[in-house]
Structures are given as C-alpha cells and as structure tokens.
C-alpha cells in the first residue's frame, strides 16, 4: 500500500469520478485507474462499484475512506513538523525595534535567543516606532517592538503588551535641568532647550504632547536626531533631552519626572494577524515574551506587563 495510492483513492471517493480525480491529482486517468486496481488487489477487496460510469464506494471502500484520510493527514503533519525543525536550523526572522531598545534591552534578549537557536538568521531593522509600524503592516517585517504606537486601529496588526518604561530627562553634567536629582514636573521644562528626536519617534511625540498638555510649546535646541546623535549632542552640552531610562547611562545627569506627570511609554510586540508565522518567528516571539516575564532580567526603570509563564497569543 503506497501513500499516493491512498491519495488517488480519496480523490475518486470524493469526486465519484475517475477522470475528475485524475485531473485533481494531475495524473493520467489510466495511470490512476491502474493504481486503484493495484490497491484493491493488495487489500483483497474491491473499493468501488463501477456501473455504467457511476462510481460508488463498496463496503470495503467505506471502511477504508476515514482511515485513508487520517493516514494522509498524519503524513502531512509529519511533513510539516520536519519542515519546522528545518526552520529552526535555517530560518530567518526580520525584527524591527526602536533605537532605545536596540541600545538598551534588546542585546540581552537576542543574545539569549542566539544561544538557543544559533541557526536562525536574525535581521534587525532599527527605526522609530511609527516607521516600524508601517513596515510591519506592509509585510517588510515579521515582528516589531513598538513603543507607544497603537495597533488597535489597524485591522492587520495584533500586539502583546510587554513593558512599561519610564522616561527621564538627561542633561550635560555642567548644565543640569531645574531640580536636578529631584522629581520634575513637566511645566519645569518650559525654559529648558531640548535636543529632540526626528519625527516618527514615539519619545518625541510623548514629550511634545506632554508639554502642550502643560500649557507650553517645548523649546528645541536642535531637532532631527537619531538616538546616538541625541545622546552625543546632550553630552556635548547642546541641551537636555527626554529619553527612556534604559539609555540614560552614567554619562549624564538624570532627573526623573514626578509620578503624576505620566511620563512613561508602553512597549508592545506586534505582528501581522493574517500571516501564519514560521516556527522561527514563533520561537522569537516566545523568547521575547519569556525574557520580559522574567522580571529579574529587567533593568531599573522598566516594569514588565507580562505574567510569568505567559505565551504570545494569535497565529
């Protein structure tokens, strides 16, 4: 008994027609008929009644049909399982992340993942959350860590909340912001020249929106920078900047906002809803969620939003 013979048998049983079954299986009709006769000979019983062009199952055929379907389904499952194992040896994942996470939390995450899955090729795309959200929606990314970017309005995207990250003010060591070292209210930034990220960065949007809510427009010493440029401009004394706490480091004076200021951001792990992820993509999703669930691995200034033992939902 051969698998292709079972496949031919199921096709004839479903179509009740040898020619149409042969067309579906992309095989010549005489060849399909011969394989069915060989199967009947091996089993020792006819599987079809063939009367004046009408095809129907015999009692033996009725017994064999569910068994054949189950054998073919399990064979396909085995084939997919083996293919998925190969994906963990040779797979590829395109991950997007904002620069603050690329220089802060992400290296530890990806290092742990690479130790477990050294065969998976990782492509890291670094940009602002607005840019990453668009690239994910277009299918240019498999996964994206989005900071402050909402996905609820996009029918193609789903997201798992990961982190609540504190935003802080960093200043050059010789030019502290008011009340440096103490808790800061947003309105106290009114006269502080800020080094500002380019448009598309969630931290820029959060800072500008908070200042406007406090009744003033922020003052830009310079704007348009990426993360590394912003940090270097602050270190050079150009101005202060609002940044995620994980990138503040020890090279700057760091001032935290008062709790009521609400200067935090949510980081989410986003992915396309309608695309079935490869096993490599699922493995990275699970690894990121598991890393964040282990609160001991998180630096100060970050609160996990993931329950221990949680797994990402969706396809």
As for how many domains the chain has, the answer is 3
**Predicted local confidence at residue 249, as pLDDT:** 72
Same domain, 145 and 102: yes
Same domain, 78 and 226: no
CB atoms within 10 A of CB 118: 9
Same domain, 155 and 177: no
Same domain, 220 and 181: yes
Same domain, 156 and 285: yes
**Predicted local confidence at residue 314, as pLDDT:** 47
Q: Domain of 136? A: 94-160+267-304
Same domain, 241 and 176: yes
pLDDT (tens, 9 = 90+) of the chain, 315 residues, equals 799 999 999 999 999 999 999 999 999 999 999 999 999 999 999 999 988 778 899 999 999 999 999 898 888 777 766 776 666 777 789 999 988 888 778 888 899 899 998 888 899 999 888 888 888 888 888 999 998 755 556 777 889 999 898 999 998 877 666 665 578 899 989 988 999 998 878 889 889 999 999 999 999 999 988 888 999 999 898 999 999 888 887 778 888 888 888 899 899 999 988 777 888 899 999 999 998 888 777 877 888 898 754 555 444
Same domain, 45 and 14: yes
Same domain, 210 and 251: yes
The domain that holds 207 is classified in CATH as 3.40.190.290
Same domain, 75 and 199: no
* Residue 237 falls inside a structural domain: yes
Domain boundary among 88, 110, 143: 88
Same domain, 229 and 244: yes
């Amino acid at each position: 008994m051969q698998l292709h013979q079972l496949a031919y048998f199921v096709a004839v049983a479903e179509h009740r027609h040898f020619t149409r079954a042969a067309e579906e299986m992309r095989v010549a009709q005489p060849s399909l008929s011969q394989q069915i006769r060989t199967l009947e000979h091996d089993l020792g019983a006819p599987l079809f009644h063939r009367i004046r062009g009408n095809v129907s199952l015999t009692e033996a055929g009725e017994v064999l049909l569910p068994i054949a379907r189950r054998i073919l389904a399990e064979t396909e499952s085995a084939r997919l399982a083996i293919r998925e194992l190969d994906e963990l040896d040779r797979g590829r994942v395109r991950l997007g992340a904002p620069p603050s996470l690329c220089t802060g939390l992400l290296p530890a995450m990806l290092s742990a993942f690479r130790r477990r899955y050294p065969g998976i090729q990782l492509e890291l795309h670094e940009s602002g959350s607005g840019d990453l959200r668009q690239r994910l929606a277009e299918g240019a990314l498999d996964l994206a860590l989005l900071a402050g970017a909402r996905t609820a309005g996009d029918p193609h995207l789903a997201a798992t909340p990961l982190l609540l990250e504190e935003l802080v003010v960093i200043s050059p060591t010789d030019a502290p912001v008011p009340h440096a070292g103490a808790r800061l209210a947003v309105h106290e930034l009114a006269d502080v020249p800020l080094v500002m990220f380019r448009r598309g960065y969630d931290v820029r949007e959060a800072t500008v929106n908070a200042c406007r809510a406090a009744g003033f427009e922020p003052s830009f010493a310079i704007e348009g920078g990426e993360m590394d440029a912003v940090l270097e401009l602050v270190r050079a004394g150009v101005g202060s900047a609002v940044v995620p706490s994980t990138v503040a480091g020890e090279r700057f004076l760091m001032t935290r906002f008062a709790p009521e200021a609400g200067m935090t951001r949510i980081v989410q792990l986003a992915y396309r809803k309608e695309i079935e992820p490869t096993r490599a993509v699922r493995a990275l999703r699970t690894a990121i969620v598991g890393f964040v669930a282990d609160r001991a691995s998180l630096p100060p200034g970050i609160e996990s939003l993931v329950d221990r033992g949680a797994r990402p939902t969706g396809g």
